[in-house]
């Protein structure tokens, strides 16, 4: 669970992968499939770690953004990515820095990536928080997650790790926020985990624009929602991933319900 598990250049070396496919998920999101030149090579990262993808912004400048794979195997990995097109999203009127390029770049293009250590490593109930400066693994038996949009991906890795391990009894509560019901990524997979693991994984949604028949939360995440779904103890850790404003709000809400700063992790 630490950097010594890899060679010195594992987190510093850039490498090139092939953009093999771009599968439509919904109106503004794709599942991107990347492959290695060597069909036996693997991404080889630990639970909740992310990578940098390099490309071009609309000005032609080289930029990078963080993404988390939701599946990987020999020779490939998958990442769901939401596209922020110009004038399509009020929070990004000029479009995203990288995603418009990712949507249009030709398949089979070589893409530069770099693996990153990240702010959390997880393995079987043990959490290594901020591993660059900390080597002490801490046990927590309950995890509250607030995820916004594509911020679900690192949370999904932890959920997948816990739910696929019958010996892991960590309890997870997810509050997943989106603009609309159609924006919910990995919904089928999340609901399957919740159905198969009712004692370990509780799934809650909130959306900004609810429609008739919606029987989950609506509106921005708030203290009332969190107090309804989680009882914080000294064995609770809070994870957050989403846009900047969402993250800032979630940090404050976690503190309001009793989580201390050392038990709050923003991916």
List of residues 6+ apart from 260 with CB closer than 8 A? none
Active-site residue flag, 153: no
List 30, 50, 150, 206, catalytic entry:
50
Is 220 part of the annotated catalytic residue set? no
The active-site residue, picked from 67, 76, 84, 156, is 67
- As separate numbers, helices (DSSP H) first and strands (DSSP E) second, the chain gives 5, 16
Sheet order of strands, 138-139 included: 120-123, 126-129, 138-139
Active-site annotation holder among 146, 155, 163, 241? 241
Catalytic site includes residue 241: yes
Cβ atoms 104, 97 nearer than 8 A? no
Quickly count: other Cβ atoms within 10 Å of residue 2's Cβ: 13
Q: Choosing from 30, 68, 146, 150, which is the catalytic residue?
A: 68
Which residue in 4, 1, 258 sits closest to 129, CA to CA?
1
Sequence-separated (6 or more) residues with CB below 8 Å from residue 39: 74, 75
Catalytic sites, residue numbers:
50, 67-68, 241
């Amino acid at each position: 669970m630490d950097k010594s598990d890899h060679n010195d250049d594992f987190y510093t070396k850039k490498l090139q992968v092939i953009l093999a496919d771009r599968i439509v998920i919904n109106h503004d999101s794709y599942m991107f499939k990347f492959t290695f030149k060597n069909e036996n090579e693997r991404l080889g990262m630990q639970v909740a770690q992310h990578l940098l993808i390099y490309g071009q912004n609309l000005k032609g400048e080289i930029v990078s953004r963080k993404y988390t794979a939701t599946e990987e195997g020999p020779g490939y990995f998958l990442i769901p990515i939401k596209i922020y097109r110009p004038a399509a999203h009020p929070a990004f009127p000029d479009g995203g820095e990288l995603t418009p390029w990712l949507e249009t770049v030709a398949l089979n293009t070589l893409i530069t990536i770099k693996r990153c250590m990240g702010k959390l490593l997880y393995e079987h109930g043990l959490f290594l928080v901020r591993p660059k400066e900390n080597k002490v693994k801490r046990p927590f038996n309950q995890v509250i997650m607030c995820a916004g949009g594509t911020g679900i991906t690192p949370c999904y890795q932890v959920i997948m790790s816990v739910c696929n391990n019958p010996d892991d009894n960590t309890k997870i509560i997810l509050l997943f926020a989106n603009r609309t019901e159609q924006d919910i990524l990995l919904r089928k997979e999340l609901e399957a985990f919740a159905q198969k693991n009712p004692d370990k994984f509780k799934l809650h949604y909130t959306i900004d624009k609810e429609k008739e028949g919606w029987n989950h939360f609506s509106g921005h995440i708030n203290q009332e929602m969190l107090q309804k779904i989680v009882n914080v103890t000294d064995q609770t850790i809070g994870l957050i991933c989403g846009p900047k404003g969402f993250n800032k709000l979630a940090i404050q809400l976690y503190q309001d319900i009793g989580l201390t700063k050392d038990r709050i992790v923003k991916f």
